[in-house]
Amino acid sequence: MGFYEERILPHIIDKACSVGQVMKLRSQLVPRATGIVLEVGMGSAINLEFYNPDTVQLVYGLEPSPGMRLKAADNMAKSRVPVQWLDLPGEEIPLPNNSVDTVLLTFTLCTIPGHQRALEQMMRVLRPGGELLFLEHGEAPENPTRKWQHRITPVWKKFAGGCHLNRPIARLIEQAGFSIKELENFYMPGAPQIAGYLYHGTAVKIAATPDSG
User: What does the pLDDT average to over 160-178?
Assistant: 94
Of 11-15, 55-59, 93-97, 187-191, minimum mean pLDDT range: 11-15
CA distance 83 to 78: 11
How confident is the model over 71-89, as pLDDT tens digits? Answer: 899 999 999 999 999 977 5
Number of domains within the chain: 1
- Output the domain CATH number for residue 44: 3.40.50.150
75 belongs to a structural domain: yes
pLDDT for res 211:
52
134 belongs to a structural domain: yes
46 belongs to a structural domain: yes
111 belongs to a structural domain: yes
For residue 8, pLDDT over 60 is answered with no
**CB burial readout 99-111, b (16+ within 10 A) else e:** bbbbbbbbbbbbb
How confident is the model over 16-36, as pLDDT tens digits? Answer: 666 668 899 999 999 999 999
Q: What is the DSSP letter of 5?
A: I
- 209/95: higher pLDDT: 95
178 belongs to a structural domain: yes
213 belongs to a structural domain: no
- Structural domain span for residue 63: 3-204
209 belongs to a structural domain: no
Three-state secondary-structure class, residue 40: strand
| CA-based radius of gyration for the chain | 16
Q: Nearest CA to 207 among 103, 130, 102? A: 130
Of 3-7, 111-115, 135-139, minimum mean pLDDT range: 3-7
- Element of type H or E holding 150: helix 145-159
pLDDT category of residue 213 using cuts at 50, 70 and 90? very low
What's the pTM? Answer: 0.89
Q: In 88-177, which ranges are E strands?
A: 100-106, 126-137
pLDDT for res 191:
87
Q: Nearest CA to 69 among 89, 46, 44, 93? A: 44
73 belongs to a structural domain: yes
- Element of type H or E holding 179: strand 179-187
Q: In 15-125, which ranges are E strands?
A: 35-40, 56-62, 83-86, 100-106
Which residues is 201 bridged to in the sheet? 134, 183
